[in-house]
Amino acid sequence: MKIAFCCTNTKAEPWLEAFRQALPGVDIWEWQAATPGQAPKLADHAVVWSPPQSFIDEQTQLQNLFNIGAGVDALLKLNLPASLNIVRLNDAGMSVQMAEYVCHAVIRYFREFNHYDKDQIEQRWSYRKPAWRADFPVGVLGAGVLGSKVAQALKQFEFPVNVWSRSPKQLPGLTSYTGLEQLPAFLKASKVLVNLLPLTPDTENILNHAHLSQLQAGAYLINVARGKHVVDQDLIDLLDQGHMAGATLDVFRVEPLPPEHAFWKHPKIVVTPHTSARTLREESVAQIASKIKAVYAGQFIEGRVDKVRGY
Ligand code: NAP
Ligand code: GLV
């Protein structure tokens, strides 16, 4: 079995070593573009993150691309042969990180820790009136691997929680909304909006003025999916006009976020550097290795991407 490793911004050696341990006898190498006139070494499968088109064009015998992330939007922008399967990570230690990040952000707003931070700077001892949990409903866009874990974690803190997805969900204690026709009702029922949608042609720019302005007054946005879901200026306008009270943003249209971008210094915005749920090497290698074994055993594997649907 031959595997090419082609992951942008990733130190290859520890991954190659971990795959060699998990799949003894595997021939795995870090891909480098072949020098002109030299026949490329062809792999059966590839482990990838944001590979260049030249990798796909050169590697003509690939059966499966194993993406070392949950989102496959960067892969689907490439020109891919119809026969090539894309397999995404299913959780692999990401959902608990996402639950930590989102619960932290929601609780920070609910308990007004952002105000206590300022009070400490001014040495002010001042209680804030406890808010009603019933007045703090959270809407989670996307109820897949990550969204459903986040929604259930928020429910543990007794917030009212709604989810929005394409297909109806039956998650204990949560209200499920589906499709564009139920989006307005879902937004009107949300004080905090958490975005965990994949980036697809249907979801790009979904966090725009028309949708965000339907949230309850004094709303908060927590975007942990992709920057291209948000229309940046629409968010800034709604924050400046006071309809929205704050935003916690982990992902951006351009990453790293350019130094001149208004988000950096906006008083109502918290910026983190695409870190809400990191790919964990040990869990990811174990998951991909077990999927590769399942492929050879002719078994079903989770995480096969539907290229038409886009996730
Ligand atoms: P997933 O399991 O594929 O879940 C996607 C969810 O979105 C599903 O519930 C799906 O509905 C829903 N959905 C998709 N298109 C929709 C549409 N047009 N209308 C309504 N609902 C729609 O994905 P996941 O593993 O939870 O990951 C979600 C995203 O998180 C990834 O794509 C990635 O962009 C992002 N992410 C970010 C980080 C980070 O560090 N910031 C880390 C990991 C992942 P159905 O259930 O009905 O299909
Ligand atoms: C990270 O953003 C991922 O999609 O896994």
Domain extent, residue 9, equals 2-92+279-296
Helical (H) or strand (E) element with 183: helix 183-188
Instruction: Check pocket membership of 251 for ligand 1, CB cut-off 6 A.
Output: yes
Q: Is the dihedral of CA 8, 12, 18, 20 positive or negative?
A: positive
Contact in structure between 23 and 5 (CB atoms under 8 Å): no
Contact in structure between 53 and 71 (CB atoms under 8 Å): no
Please tell me whether residue 162 adopts helix, strand or coil conformation: strand
Say yes or no: 82 and 137 in one domain: no
- Block means of pLDDT (10 residues each) for the chain, 311 residues, are 96 98 97 92 97 97 98 97 97 98 98 96 96 97 98 98 98 97 98 98 98 98 98 98 98 98 98 98 98 96 96 97
- Return the ligand number nearest the Cα of 273: 1
Q: Which ligand 2 atom is at minimum distance from the Cα of 94? A: 5
Which amino acid appears at position 188 of this protein? K
Residue nearest to atom 33 of ligand 1 (CA): 71
User: What pLDDT, on a 0 to 100 scale, did the predictor assign at position 226?
Assistant: 98
Q: Catalytic pick from 108, 274, 281, 304? A: 274
**Which distant-in-sequence residues (6+ apart) come within 8 Å of 174 by Cβ?**
151, 152, 155, 161, 162, 163
User: What pLDDT, on a 0 to 100 scale, did the predictor assign at position 260?
Assistant: 98
**Which distant-in-sequence residues (6+ apart) come within 8 Å of 196 by Cβ?**
98, 140, 141, 142, 144, 146, 147, 150, 224, 225
> Residue 52 corresponds to which tokens in the numbers above?
């260049």
Say yes or no: 98 and 88 in one domain: no
Number of domains in the chain: 2
Say yes or no: 33 and 105 in one domain: no
Say yes or no: 86 and 109 in one domain: no
Say yes or no: 263 and 292 in one domain: no
Say yes or no: 173 and 254 in one domain: yes
Say yes or no: 27 and 86 in one domain: yes
Instruction: Check pocket membership of 305 for ligand 2, CB cut-off 6 A.
Output: no
Instruction: Check pocket membership of 227 for ligand 2, CB cut-off 6 A.
Output: no
> Is 274 known to be catalytic?
yes
User: What pLDDT, on a 0 to 100 scale, did the predictor assign at position 62?
Assistant: 98
Say yes or no: 38 and 67 in one domain: yes
DSSP 230: B
Say yes or no: 213 and 112 in one domain: yes
2: β partners: 27
pTM: 0.97
> Is 278 known to be catalytic?
no
CATH (domain of 63): 3.40.50.720
User: What pLDDT, on a 0 to 100 scale, did the predictor assign at position 131?
Assistant: 94
